[in-house]
Amino acid sequence: MRFVLALLATLLVGTALGLAATRWTASNRQGFSAEQAGPWIAWPKAGTSEAEPYARAFQARTGYVPLGGGDGVALFALSDSDGRPLEGNCAYDVGGAVPAARFWTLEAFSPRGRPVAGPLGRLGFTSAEVMHDAAGHFMVAVSPQVRPGNWLQVATPGRFVLVLRLYETVLSASAFSLEADALPAITRGACR
Amino acid sequence: MIFALPFFLGAVLIAVMVHLASLLALPGFATNDAYARLGRNAPIDQVAALTQAQIAALDLPFYDRSFETAVCKYDLSAGVLRLRAPSPDTMLLVTLIARGGNVYFSVSDRAAIKGLVEVLVGTDAQIEQIEASDKDDEVLGELRVRAPKPQGVALIRVFAPDETSKARAAEEAAQASCQIETL
C-alpha cells in the first residue's frame, strides 16, 4: 500500500513540476539561444521557421510577434551597461552608435511588454525623429523627470525593458554577431 | 532515505518528460497567441485596418507602436490566398503568422514589383498544384509561400516615423487587399 501511494505521489509531483516549468518558461523566457553584447540581448532566430521550441512556446503563450528573419533584429536591454537592472525611478542616457539600418526604433516597456510611457504620450523614438550630433551619434534621455533634448518619459515604479529594433539592418538572422561598441551604451544617472 | 531515492529520481525524470512534451504541444493548444488576438474580431479573408487604440486593446507584448497595422485573417481550406500591398512612402512589412503563433514568412517593400508586394499563400498541396501548371517562360510577379497550417493571419504594417506621418501610413496599410482564389 505504501509503495502504491509513493508511486502515485511520484507521478503527481513529477507531472506538476513539469507543467509548472513549461508555464514559467513559456511566460518568461523568449528562448535560450540568445546573443548578447553589452546590455543588449537578441533572439535572432525567433521569427524564422528555425525558431527553437522555447521561442515558439513563448510566442504561443504571450502573443508576442517577433520580427521576421529578413525584417530586422529586436534588441532587448533589461539592465544598464554596468549590469544593474533598469529601474523606473532612475535617469538613463542611452546613446552612441547604431548599426546601419533602414530605420530603427527605441521604446520602453514593462517586463511583460506593456508600454510604460508617461503622460506626455510618447511611446518611443524613431531614427527619423531623434536628434543626432555631427558624428551621427544620438542620445536619448530615459527618465521620469523632464530632460532637455530627446526625452523618453518612463512612468513605472518598477523595472522596465528597453527595446531597440533595427529594421533591414546589416545584422541578419543567419550571420548574426553583435559587438557592444557598435550598439548604444546605457548609462545610469541619478535615482530618486 | 534509501527507500525515497528511486521515487525522487522518478519524479525528476517524469518532470523533465512532461515539461518537454507540454512545451512542444503548447502551440497547438494556444488560445491567446498572436493569431487568436489579431483575428478575434477580424473578418475572414479580408483586410481590416486596426487603429492604435485597437492595437493597444489586443495587448500584444513588445509591439512596436511606430507602425500602422492592418490584418488579414485567412483560411486556405477553400483556396489559395492572394495578398497585395502597395509600397508606402516609408517601409512596409508583411508578416505571415500561422495558427499557434509562429512567424513563417516575412517580406518588406524591397520585394515590391512595380510598387506592389504580391504574395500567394497556399498549403504544400496547393502550391504544388500551381507549380505543375506553370509555363516555363513565365515571369512570376508574385512570391509563393507554403503555409505550415491552413489557418493564419497576415500582418500588414506601415512604418510611421513621426506623429505627422501616422494618418498617411494608416491609409497606406488599409490599401492592402487579400482574397481567396479557388484552384
Contacts of A48 in chain B (CB under 8 A): 103
Pick from A102, A32, A108, A8: which is nearest to B91 by CA? A102
Confidence (pLDDT) at B1: 61
Confidence (pLDDT) at A84: 96
Burial class (CB in 10 A: 0-12, 13-18, 19+), B175: middle
Confidence (pLDDT) at A174: 57
Which domain, by its residues, includes A136? 36-48+67-191
Q: How many domains does chain A have?
A: 1
Lowest mean pLDDT among A15-29, A106-120, B135-149, B150-164: B135-149
Calpha distance A11→B99 (Å, rounded) = 32
Alpha-helix residue ranges (DSSP H) falling in chain A: 2-28, 53-62
A156 lies in a domain? yes
Q: Kindly report the CATH number assigned to the domain that includes residue A147.
A: 2.60.120.600
Which residues contact residue B135 at a Cβ distance below 8 angstroms, ignoring those fewer than 6 apart? none
Residue A121 has pLDDT above 70, yes or no: no
Chain B interface, mutation test: which of A28, A65, A76, A116, most B Cβ atoms within 10 Å?
A65
Calpha distance A155→A110 (Å, rounded) = 10
Identify which of A26-30, A162-166, B131-135 has the greatest average pLDDT: A162-166
Burial class (CB in 10 A: 0-12, 13-18, 19+), B56: middle
Q: Is there a contact between A59 and B14 if contact means CB atoms under 8 Å apart?
A: no
A90 lies in a domain? yes
Residue in chain A nearest B16 by alpha carbon: A18
Cβ–Cβ contact A53 with B under 8 A = yes
Predicted confidence band at B129 (pLDDT cuts at 50, 70, 90)? Answer: very high
Give Cα B120 to chain centroid, integer Å.
Answer: 13
A104 lies in a domain? yes
Confidence (pLDDT) at A176: 65
3-state SS assignment for residue B10 = helix
Residue A163 has pLDDT above 90, yes or no: yes
Instruction: Write out pLDDT tens, residues B57-108.
Output: 999 999 999 999 999 999 999 999 999 999 999 999 999 999 988 899 999 9
A40 lies in a domain? yes
Restricting to A residues 109-168, those with a Cβ less than 8 Å away from any Cβ of B are: 109, 112-115, 123-124, 126-129, 161, 163, 165, 167-168
Residue in chain A nearest B30 by alpha carbon: A60
Which residues contact residue B53 at a Cβ distance below 8 angstroms, ignoring those fewer than 6 apart? none
Calpha distance A104→A40 (Å, rounded) = 15
Predicted confidence band at A184 (pLDDT cuts at 50, 70, 90)? Answer: very high
The DSSP element (H or E) to which B123 belongs, if any, is none
Calpha distance B122→B150 (Å, rounded) = 8
A43 lies in a domain? yes
A162 lies in a domain? yes
Q: Is there a contact between B66 and A124 if contact means CB atoms under 8 Å apart?
A: yes
Alpha-carbon distance A161 to nearest alpha carbon in chain B (angstroms): 9
Q: What's the mean per-residue pLDDT of chain B?
A: 92
Calpha distance B40→A65 (Å, rounded) = 16
A5 lies in a domain? no
Chain A interface, mutation test: which of B64, B163, B165, most A Cβ atoms within 10 Å?
B64
A145 lies in a domain? yes
Q: Which residue has the higher pLDDT, B177 or A176?
A: B177
Q: What's the mean per-residue pLDDT of chain A?
A: 89
Confidence (pLDDT) at A70: 80
Cell of B15: 518532470
